[in-house]
């Protein structure tokens, strides 16, 4: 089997996803009870500590020869991959009538996972760790303890495939459609020329299989992240070292600011990727990867049309700033663009009917009364 039957997996998911972890802010304490409850199928070990001495865990399952390494939340405020990972654990624990898929994965793969690589950043809800280091740009310098741990596990496991799980902002749209990029993929480049190596082709094969499944569920909402080479980026360097690395960027679905819908599609993608790898395809065509539309930046949280702002009739684009407060995460609108925005789409489009505002404060207060 190389491709999931989407209807079957959707039915399984609606009844069995891991409901004990949810929301936008996922911290270490959120997952510890779940780790404690995993069955003996899973091997759970502490592998080290973060800069602020929070534990970092490695979870292993499966007995297959092909090894897959997966990590989440190297950016602490990007939690969708963590939720999807625990949905995957649920599936591998209790697949129901899809047990043939589970059996094939566990017999052919050994899956090693590091959930919440950056627990300090997760707690503070920041991209960086407690030293203000972006772990995704620390692969060469290795200044952070968390970066060293990841590369120690990489060397120990020597995986054939890696899954690098991230979130992307609501600004990203899919090509010219201006639909939100709910899931985006990347087969990272190994050099500035973006050479099409055999490793990149194998990575593209996996991505193509995931896109084929997702197109049935969210057509026109799947994008391709830029493959510009970043010399200090984790995925680019792991790919360069010979570890076929799939980057998954979980993004926006309409009104899904807790990323509970995009979490489901991230799970579908992740499961399909494992199904494809476990099926050991002998050959495939990498070219469909280049037909995935590029990510563009033509999406807004709020698009306000026909507003007089400082005596000018214009459009205004607003993006939410995510603020940690006593209730969790609040989404506070901020003005991002003041110009004609006819080429943009947004989660919410409002016609101001030529209302007049002389300053940002008055406009933002009016917007808040409308949306809250």
Q: What mean pLDDT value characterizes the chain?
A: 96
Assigned domain for 290 exists: yes
Q: Are residues 286 and 330 in the same domain?
A: no
Q: Are residues 280 and 315 in the same domain?
A: no
Assigned domain for 261 exists: yes
How many angstroms separate the CA atoms of 357 and 176, rounded?
Answer: 32
Q: Which residue has the tokens 């602490």?
A: 76
Q: Are residues 292 and 318 in the same domain?
A: no
Mean pLDDT of 107-136: 98
Assigned domain for 341 exists: yes
User: How many independent structural domains does the chain possess?
Assistant: 2
How many angstroms separate the CA atoms of 249 and 181, rounded?
Answer: 9
Q: Are residues 178 and 264 in the same domain?
A: yes
Q: Are residues 173 and 308 in the same domain?
A: no
Tens digit of each residue's pLDDT (9 = 90 or more) over 9-37: 999 999 999 999 999 999 999 999 999 99
> What is the pLDDT confidence band of residue 145, given thresholds at 50, 70 and 90?
very high
Q: Are residues 57 and 198 in the same domain?
A: yes
Last residue of a domain, one of 272, 296, 320: 296
Q: Are residues 305 and 256 in the same domain?
A: no
Q: Are residues 270 and 309 in the same domain?
A: no
Q: Are residues 284 and 355 in the same domain?
A: no
Assigned domain for 285 exists: yes
Tens digit of each residue's pLDDT (9 = 90 or more) over 254-271: 999 999 999 999 999 999
Mean pLDDT of 216-231: 96
Q: Are residues 359 and 251 in the same domain?
A: no
Q: Are residues 310 and 173 in the same domain?
A: no
Assigned domain for 30 exists: yes
Last residue of a domain, one of 275, 296, 317: 296
pLDDT at 192: 96
Q: What is the CATH number of the domain that holds 23?
A: 3.40.630.10
Q: Are residues 284 and 306 in the same domain?
A: no
pLDDT at 177: 84
Domain range for residue 342? 300-371
Assigned domain for 98 exists: yes
pLDDT at 2: 80
Last residue of a domain, one of 296, 316, 346: 296
Assigned domain for 40 exists: yes
Q: Which residues pair with 132 in a beta bridge?
A: none
> What is the pLDDT confidence band of residue 1, given thresholds at 50, 70 and 90?
low
pLDDT at 137 over 60: yes
Sequence-distant (6+) residues with CB within 8 A of 324 are 25, 124, 125
Q: What is the CATH number of the domain that holds 310?
A: 2.30.40
Assigned domain for 1 exists: no
Mean pLDDT of 105-109: 97
Tens digit of each residue's pLDDT (9 = 90 or more) over 307-336: 999 999 999 999 999 999 887 899 999 999
């Amino acid at each position: 089997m190389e491709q999931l039957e989407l209807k079957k997996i959707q039915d399984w998911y609606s009844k069995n996803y891991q409901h004990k972890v949810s929301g936008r802010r996922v911290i270490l304490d959120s997952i510890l009870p779940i780790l404690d409850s995993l069955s003996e199928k899973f091997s759970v070990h502490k592998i080290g500590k973060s800069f602020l001495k929070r534990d970092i865990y490695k979870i292993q399952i499966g007995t297959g020869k092909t090894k897959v390494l997966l990590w989440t939340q190297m950016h602490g405020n990007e939690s969708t991959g963590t939720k999807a990972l625990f949905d995957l654990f649920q599936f591998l624990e209790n697949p129901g009538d899809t047990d043939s898929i589970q059996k094939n994965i566990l017999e052919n793969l050994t899956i090693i996972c590091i959930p919440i690589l950056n627990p300090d950043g997760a707690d503070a809800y920041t991209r960086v760790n407690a030293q203000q280091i972006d772990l995704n740009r620390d692969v060469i310098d290795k200044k952070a303890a968390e970066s060293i741990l990841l590369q120690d596990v990489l060397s120990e496991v020597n995986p054939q495939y890696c899954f690098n799980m991230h979130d992307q902002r609501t600004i990203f749209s899919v090509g010219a459609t201006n639909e939100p990029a709910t899931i985006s993929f990347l087969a990272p480049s190994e050099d500035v020329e973006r050479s099409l190596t055999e490793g990149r082709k194998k990575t593209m094969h996996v991505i193509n299989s995931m896109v084929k499944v997702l197109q049935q569920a969210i057509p026109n909402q799947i994008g391709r992240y830029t493959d510009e080479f970043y010399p200090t980026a984790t995925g680019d360097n792991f790919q360069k070292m010979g570890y076929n690395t799939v980057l998954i960027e979980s993004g926006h679905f309409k009104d899904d600011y807790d990323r509970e819908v995009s979490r489901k599609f991230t799970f579908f993608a992740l499961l399909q990727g494992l199904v494809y790898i476990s099926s050991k395809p002998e050959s495939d065509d990498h070219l469909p990867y280049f037909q995935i539309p590029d990510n563009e930046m033509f999406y807004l949280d709020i698009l306000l049309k026909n507003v007089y702002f400082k005596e000018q009739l214009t459009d205004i684009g607003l993006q939410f700033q995510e603020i940690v407060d006593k209730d969790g995460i609040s989404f506070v609108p901020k003005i991002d663009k003041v110009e004609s925005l006819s080429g943009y789409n947004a989660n919410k489009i409002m016609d101001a009917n030529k209302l007049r505002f002389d300053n940002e404060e008055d406009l933002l207060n009016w917007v808040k009364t409308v949306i809250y």
